[in-house]
Structure 1
Amino acid sequence: MQSILKCCAGLDVHKMMVMATVQTEDENGEIKEITQSFKTYRRERRKLRDYLVKHQVELVVMESTGVYWKCVHETLIKAGLKVWVVNARHKSMS
């Protein structure tokens, strides 16, 4: 199967913490995962943004749980990252 993205990230957003998992594909087609947690304070959201930019993430996907995702979303959008807000209950139709 051919990859669509070489590097993407999934965020699990909580009230006081964001878990970020970055998946990258190396030149051999191997998938590597790196997970790191960040607090939701402004300075930590900037660290999250920088972390995603450093890893050259092409797409960030996050679930729209409560209202906690909004400030994280805004920080990432302002940095020019492509962000999808999704609902885990919506399943693919393929």
Structure 2
Amino acid sequence: MARLDVKDEVIHLRSAGVDLGKRFLLGCVRTPSTTHAGRWSLETERFGTSQAEIRRLLAWLVERRVEVVVMEATSDYWRSVYYLLQPHLT
């Protein structure tokens, strides 16, 4: 078993997860707390699956200065979201 050194860890201060479904997308953003040093703030938002709603998701992520996005999807629902977000976010 490989040993993981602390220096090997990458911590993204502003990250997001997006759960992709047929009828809606659910986004969650984690950012440093503005009121408690060393703590995190979580914010969630529900989006539709239309192009306009995916653009709203992009604006929501950019407004929060997200550094990295992870997506979880069933089937091919990830494609339209990925292709819209990819030029702007990691």
Matched, 1:26 2:22: no
Deviation digits for residues 17-75 of structure 1, max 9, x if unmatched?
Answer: 10000001136111110000000100000000000000000000002420001100111
Identity of aligned residues (%): 35
Larger radius of gyration: 2
Residues matched between the structures, number? 81
Q: Is the deviation greater in 40-49 or in 2-11?
A: 2-11
How far 1:3 sits from its partner (Å)?
A: 7.1
Equivalent residue for 1:17, pick from 24, 39, 56: 24
Counterpart mapping for 1:14-93 below 5 A: 14-26=21-33, 28-78=37-87, 80-82=88-90
What RMSD, in angstroms, separates the aligned Cα atoms of the two structures?
Answer: 1.8
TM-score by length of 1: 0.79
Q: Distance in 2 between matches of 1:30 and 1:75?
A: 31
User: Equivalent residue of 1:4, what SS?
Assistant: coil
TM-score (norm 2): 0.82
List gaps (5 residues or longer) in structure 2.
1-5
Which consecutive aligned stretches of 4+ in structure 1 deviate over 3 angstroms post-superposition? Answer: none
**Greater relative contact order: 1 or 2 (C-alpha under 8 angstroms, separation 6 or more)?**
2
